[in-house]
Amino acid sequence: MLFDKSLIILSILLQDISPLNVKVTVEQGIVFGNKEVTVFNERSYYAFYGVPYAQPPIGKLRFRDPKPVKKWTRPLDATKEYHGACAQAHIVHKHGQYGVENCLFLNIYTPNLPHNDKQIPKAVIVWIHGYAFTSSFSHIHGGDFLIENDVIFISLTHRLGAFGFLKLNQTDSNANMGLKDIATGLKWIKRNIRYFGGDENKITVMGSGSASTLLSLLLLTKYKNLFTKMILQSGSIFSPSIFQGNYEIEKQRLEKEIGKIGIKDLRSAKTKDIIQASQKIYNSSDVMNFQRSVVPFSPLIETKSIKSLLSIDKYDYKALKTVNFSKIPIIIGFTSQESISEAIPFIHDAHYLKLFHSLFKFMVPFEDGCKYEYSSQIYKSISKEIRSWYFERGVSENSIDDFLTFVSDLHKYPIFKFINEILRVGNKIYVYKFNYLGKFNAVKSTSLAGSNIRIKGAAQGDEICYILKCDPLWESYVKLKEDKYDKDRIFIEYISQLWANFAKTG
């Protein structure tokens, strides 16, 4: 009788699963997915949406290191497109809540599923999202172009902002949760990818912006064996925004803001309240006083313990010497105009350049914060040198090109430093500069929307929608379906093949 009841329950659970769906059994249980086709060549592939790789980081697990996902007791329906994002503030939502805290999932897209032992496992590319450690999401990115090159594509979501990088106290070993989320996701992938036809010894991690910084940090950890290749787009371990925040100040100010609405415990605060309070952690005076980029809730140095991930000396990157890069080939690159998205106010209102002129003494870049008084002669000399180099004709409303060059160089410096470090220790690295302009330069077109200013070059992140299918541009991709000779389609097929070949052979 009990056996019959179990069959009835199972049939109810599976009644919404289409006969066209496919089944995979992983370590945690059965997963159902869809059979779909790519946008250009209609190559069939299998998609599994919203596969959990860790326990939901909510309740007692908020601000805690990720816990491995438990086995599920019934088949997992991964047939519905997962549009989830980790909790964050987003301009489209007027800095209200976007996303949820229960967000540690994978979207898995594979050209083939294993049918026998003779089938050759496929290379895997894992996409990590990121923008300043505080926002971004991966569900809008599909792997159609990579799949057409016979590569498995996986997108991974991880915690952001305070949920991903808040440290509660000095002795608390829970820190850098967002980075540990990525490591936990990679562990799951390495253990289960064979069930999707993937090769656990050919896993390439790929990220853009702050995601590149997070991935390069993994090179200095015990988790560097979870991947075999790396693609870093517009970022590196030498980003000036990491290891800079003061966790005590950040926690105190967050508690103060939350306290204004009568909440004493951060663990019991609503998601939206933490997000809104996080926007008020640092202000313009902090930037001026600290003389450096100040990003609240970014990677920090941890107290050494069994659970610690980043306990290195923040000024000591000698650990790079211990990494065997012959086993971890790297592609790293930048765009020709990295600064466009960050310069939006200056692009749309030239009066901001006048403000920049008056505040330039606070904008002098220092790798690890300023160590000189503003009034000191050495500070004035440094400021003068930089100003004369980038703004030879002075700063005015017509200085937008000079300003963009200045800010772009700030972004490129950490990349060049990483390249030099790798070359200095005698390892191979592939470097690219992205300067292509077409219909899918989404960041640049969005940044310049409504402006009459013409700016040469590609913005940071503009290469993404040529390598990955970006859902908001779906109709534009469809229009290229019948035109194999369109220059944008040719370029998409070219660059996605480069990335796929790297994942396959290094």
The pLDDT profile of the chain, 506 residues, written as one tens digit per residue, is 444 544 444 444 444 545 458 999 999 999 999 999 999 999 999 999 999 999 999 999 999 999 999 999 999 999 998 777 899 886 444 446 788 999 999 999 999 999 877 889 999 999 998 877 777 878 889 999 999 999 999 999 999 999 998 888 766 778 899 999 999 999 999 999 999 999 999 999 999 999 999 999 998 888 999 999 999 999 998 887 777 667 788 888 888 988 888 888 888 899 999 988 888 887 767 666 655 556 788 888 777 777 777 775 544 555 555 666 667 899 999 999 988 887 777 777 777 887 787 777 777 766 655 566 777 888 888 888 888 899 888 877 778 888 889 889 988 988 998 998 888 877 779 999 999 999 999 888 887 776 767 788 899 999 999 999 999 999 999 999 999 999 999 999 999 999 999 999 98
Q: Could you tell me the residue range of the domain that residue 284 belongs to?
A: 22-320
One domain, residues 376 and 304: no
Report the relative pairing of strands 152-156 and 330-335 from DSSP bridges.
Answer: unpaired
Residue 23: left if φ>0, alpha if ψ -120 to 50, beta else—which one? beta
One domain, residues 197 and 248: yes
One domain, residues 316 and 360: no
pTM for this model (two decimals): 0.90
Indicate whether 16 belongs to any domain.
no
Structure tokens at 117: 């032992």
Residue 157, domain CATH: 3.40.50.1820
Indicate whether 423 belongs to any domain.
no
Nearest CA-CA partner of 101 in 165, 159, 178: 159
One domain, residues 393 and 268: no
Looking at residue 443, its amino acid is V
Indicate whether 475 belongs to any domain.
no
One domain, residues 92 and 33: yes
Indicate whether 455 belongs to any domain.
no
One domain, residues 236 and 368: no
One domain, residues 128 and 233: yes
One domain, residues 161 and 247: yes
Q: How many structural domains comprise the chain?
A: 2
Distance between CA atoms of 314 and 301, rounded to whole angstroms?
7
Distance between CA atoms of 3 and 203, rounded to whole angstroms?
42
